[in-house]
Amino acid sequence: MSTNSAYSAPAPDPATGAAVKATDRAHVFHSWSAQALIDPAAIAGGQGSYFWDYDGNRYLDFSSQLVNTNIGHQHPKVVAAIQEQAAKMCTIAPGFAVDVRAEAARLIAERTPGDLDKIFFTNGGAEAVENAVRMARVHTGRPKVLSAYRSYHGATNAAINLTGDPRRWASDSASAGVVHFWSPFLYRSPFHAETEEQECERALRHLEDTIAFEGPQTIAAIILESVPGTAGIMPPPPGYLAGVREICDRHGIVFVLDEVMAGFGRTGRWFALDHWDARPDLVTFAKGVNSGYVPIGGVAISAEIAATFDERPYPGGLTYSGHPLACASIVATLHTMADEGIVENAATIGEQVLGPGLRELAERHPSVGEVRGLGVFWAVELVRDRKTREPLVPYNASGAANQPMAEFAAAAKRAGLWPAVNMNRTHVVPPCTISESEAKDGLAILDEALTAADAHVTG
């Protein structure tokens, strides 16, 4: 993509970098971290597919931060829209009708499937999930929500209890009304399946059984990521989402698809659900809707669920719901993505560069057990032994046990690539705007860094 790639990083300024770091360490309490064990890099700026520190190191961003900068860093059109909106009206309460909020909602509704035409805005993804659950519970009058073991849905109360990774454990109230089940993942099949068809059929049967034994009349919603992201970028087998839709219909259960990470171009379509016959009742979104330039998320709501709240007040709200600066950035982002063919670029880069390039790396590096994904949403599963599929590091490893992954990440950073690393995987998730030559540069660095992982292969 042309608009984003030209940039000039300022001259290195290590003294400022050291001062930023010292103040950060004195006063910033960081997410998900043992505060004394972290060493956050001090970052001076970014542009397009790159960001840089104060010491003269520039990184190709293969993480899109937390998989949110779908249009890259500092897209000039979106920066300008935020500046213009700031000059006009920084904030206004959610109860008023305002141009950018109405237009942002209209543009999102234009892209959501079916009759999901009403948009409730939140400040981010977790609150979107929180409110989707609230809508489903009020709509059905039922308490329980089913979610997948391999999932991430956010860190607020309902969202973290729905989450299926170790970050839930410390907050698991065991009374949040959540029941977990296994979603399909052929490479580590919970159902001992050998084909996508078997995995799909057995996963649907397992879900049916879970519902039967929980009592369908107690279940308000099933929530799934269309493509589970943080948990390993696992596109569902054909037929799975349609099968879940059918089960929900049969039992009067609300079907929620979480598109917070997979939505807005990441998979090479506007929504990941567009790849399949999914038909959800509610869709949660955040991140890519405006690349996170100003915090925002939301829920797209079907006509039937919206009608529940026609005469009865919706029991939820937020001071900053539909914040004008965030909404202005959504309007500019969605226009820019359409005008510049950014979603199509993500699809092409996936089909022609990242997919073939990663599969080629898999052939040459014994530490690569599997690559999977679509668009600019790929996982490279690292293993000690391709035959047994033993992960390169144990589940939820830290410290010395996580050393092989730490070595891989350090090698990538030394060579100028910022990788996304989760457990025994690296996720290849650059901006949707990445050019072919940038993607190829990144693959060349991964090639080099994977030799660090290969050194731990035992099989």
Interface residues with ligand PLP (CB under 6 A) are 66, 124-126, 129, 152-154, 225, 229-230, 258, 260-261, 286, 297
Least distance (Å) between residue 366 CB and ligand PLP: 30
131-168 exposure pattern, b = at least 16 Cβ within 10 A, e = fewer: bbbbbbbbbbebebbbbbbbbbbbbbebbbbbbbbebb
Residue nearest to ligand PLP (CB): 125
CB nearer to ligand PLP: give 47 or 426.
Answer: 426
Least distance (Å) between residue 131 CB and ligand PLP: 12
CB nearer to ligand PLP: give 129 or 248.
Answer: 129
CB nearer to ligand PLP: give 17 or 125.
Answer: 125
**DSSP bridge partners of 370:** 381
Least distance (Å) between residue 167 CB and ligand PLP: 10
Least distance (Å) between residue 123 CB and ligand PLP: 8
CB 200 within 8 A of CB 243: yes
Least distance (Å) between residue 148 CB and ligand PLP: 11
Least distance (Å) between residue 231 CB and ligand PLP: 9
CB nearer to ligand PLP: give 127 or 340.
Answer: 127
CB nearer to ligand PLP: give 225 or 370.
Answer: 225
Least distance (Å) between residue 298 CB and ligand PLP: 11
CB nearer to ligand PLP: give 154 or 265.
Answer: 154
In one-letter notation, the amino acid at residue 342 is I
Least distance (Å) between residue 172 CB and ligand PLP: 17
Least distance (Å) between residue 373 CB and ligand PLP: 15
CB nearer to ligand PLP: give 65 or 198.
Answer: 65
Q: Which of 331, 277, 269, 284 is nearest to 119 (CA)?
A: 284
CB 452 within 8 A of CB 407: yes
CA gap 267, 227 in Å, rounded: 9
CB nearer to ligand PLP: give 153 or 365.
Answer: 153
CA gap 361, 76 in Å, rounded: 35
CB nearer to ligand PLP: give 289 or 445.
Answer: 289
Least distance (Å) between residue 27 CB and ligand PLP: 22
Kindly state the tokens that stand for 75. Answer: 């897209």
CB nearer to ligand PLP: give 231 or 361.
Answer: 231
CB 70 within 8 A of CB 432: yes
CA gap 69, 247 in Å, rounded: 35
